[in-house]
Amino acid sequence: MMNQLTFFEKKDIKMLNLKEASEWASQYLNRKVTISNILYLIQYGRINKYGNNGNPLLNVEELKDYYDSLNNKEKRLKKILGDDLNWHLSFIEYTESERTKHVHRLHPYKGKFIPQLVEYFLDSHTDEFKREIYFHEGDIVLDPFCGSGTTLVQANELGMHAIGIDISSFNALITNIKIKKHNLPLIANAIHKLTSRLKDFQKTRNNIIFEEHLLSELAKFNAKYFPSPEYKRKVARGEINESKYASIREKEFLDIYYALVEKYQIKIKQNRNDTFLDRWFLLPVREEIDFLSNELKTTIANEDIKRVLAVILSRTVRSCRATTHADLATLREPITTTYYCKKHGKICKPIFTIANWWQTYTVDTLNRLDEFNKFRTETYQLCLVGDSRTIDIFEETKKLNLELAEILSKQKIRGIFSSPPYVGLIAYHEQHAYAYEMFGLKRKDELEIGHLFKGQGKEAREFYTQGIAEVLKNCKRYLQSDYDIFLVANDKFNLYPKIAESAEMKIVNRFKRPVLNRVEKDRDTAYAETIFHLKEI
């Protein structure tokens, strides 16, 4: 270590131990930075570690560069979003893998909040930023707009019971799969058998060998006409007119594509165009979807295994839609041929088999369920299917979980942490239309509050305000007298003061946070949202 120190001293680089780094960072940022905070930066690769494990050393210039980068981004976004933001609640220090830890990425879902936000308000330990404790171990937490179950999962981690409610039966399916403890070896065995049957089915089709040949031709063509990174550099420097050049090459490769389609006798389009599954999947993919879906229904007897595999199949199917890579988040029109992909700067193709995604997601799901088991506590969580405006929480809980119902009858619900739907932003049933069709689930679009297709006009806003207030009034019957309610909302229409008044509650605090990290990785479209803290008048 002395030789290292001598080397660094010669290079005029100041090295700090953990305690010194903590003190330096606290002074530089004018806020408390603990040794644990510094260790976090080392653990997740934000800064390099020198010295040895017994006495790690840090480069002060690297620390400064890291904190300056955060500060510069913060200044830039303050100009856009305003100065009245709680930047600690941005959780910018967490990587994507940390924001989607274990079961939180079991299935895609639009409109969910990150688990760290739930942890902040539910955790019973104070820190320098949080002055009050609202929930404790053993409490019951309610999420009346459960979505994909983030609140319930984090309540489990923190040793709290939780009840969720959602009008969408598919949302409840996702949530209950996340929080339930499963027999993973049995699920793995079922996956192995289904995968083997899928491979046997594929032997009767030509789509696998067709896609392998197509990929080979694409690799040669892209290496010749879209070499990486040279091609992108030339586009950036203006040496290539991307639109014109890409259009010529796209048409050129189509001749190769159609020749392969003819050679392997691949039928691309389905005969019907009536449903989501008809419109958004190529015929070879649809045939495999129908095969696996039927196998689930007819060969899997264990209901828990069947539900887990249904979620995996749904996730697989979502990734196999006939769309471009750039339009995965928002579908525009079905794609049935190879195309120039602006996102990747080369010719890409639609998907002709579900095999690769099925294999990826079966492994990933087992790993995530196993990982969550390491954090699981012996508490009860349950997502109910129903309308939060009218549901009898006690009676419905009693039907499905007597132990949780008994706890509920004794101590009632401590409070709510939830993110209600936004006005006219998302059609929650429609985002999983393929799942409802595959599994024959009943849709209740007409009961969604703030449905996309109702728009954001005056009538839609009034309906939304009334709906959220009715949810709060119904849920209040099951809450403890001194309850705490936290609602996460981007309230650009200033509806929540009226909602609180209608529910006979008062807003006692607002926590305004910047939302910097989007699922689609479009981090320049940051916006602010508010966590409203409501209590009884």
For the stretch 78-95, pLDDT in tens is 777 777 788 888 887 787
For the stretch 487-505, pLDDT in tens is 999 999 999 999 999 999 9
Distance CA(33)–CA(30), nearest Å, equals 9
Residue 262 has pLDDT above 70, yes or no: yes
Tokens matching residue 141: 């937490």
3-state secondary structure of 48: coil
Distance CA(284)–CA(207), nearest Å, equals 6
Question: Of 388, 406, 392, which is closest to residue 140 (Cα–Cα)?
Answer: 406
Residue 67 has pLDDT above 90, yes or no: no
Distance CA(217)–CA(18), nearest Å, equals 54
For the stretch 108-117, pLDDT in tens is 998 888 999 9
Distance CA(222)–CA(249), nearest Å, equals 10
CA atoms within 13 A on the CB side of 187: 23
Question: Of 494, 428, 436, 462, which is closest to residue 109 (Cα–Cα)?
Answer: 428
Q: Residue 17 class from Cβ within 10 Å (0-12 exposed, 13-18 middle, 19+ buried)?
A: middle
Could you tell me the domains of the chain?
Answer: 2-81 (no CATH), 87-170+376-432+443-536 (3.40.50.150), 184-367 (no CATH)
DSSP string, 145-205: S-TT-HHHHHHHHTT-EEEEEES-HHHHHHHHHHHS---HHHHHHHHHHHHHHHHHHHTTS
pLDDT of residue 471: 98
**Residue range 377-406: mean pLDDT, rounded:** 98
> SS3 for 202-241, per residue?
HCCCCHHHHHHHHHHHHHHHHHHHCCCCHHHHHHHCCCCC
Distance CA(518)–CA(160), nearest Å, equals 28
pLDDT of residue 233: 81
Residue 521 has pLDDT above 80, yes or no: no
What sign has the CA pseudo-torsion 400, 117, 122, 536?
negative
Instruction: Please give the mean pLDDT across all residues of the chain.
Output: 91
**pTM for this structure?**
0.84
Q: Report the DSSP pairing between strands 346-348 and 339-341.
A: antiparallel
Question: How far out from the chain centre does Cα 25 lie?
Answer: 32
For the stretch 272-316, pLDDT in tens is 999 999 999 999 999 999 999 999 999 999 999 999 999 999 999
pLDDT of residue 49: 84
pLDDT band of 53, cuts 50, 70, 90 = low
DSSP string, 293-311: HHHHHHH---HHHHHHHHH
pLDDT of residue 74: 67
Distance CA(486)–CA(459), nearest Å, equals 26
pLDDT of residue 47: 84
**Residue range 205-228: mean pLDDT, rounded:** 96
Distance CA(185)–CA(373), nearest Å, equals 14
pLDDT of residue 131: 65
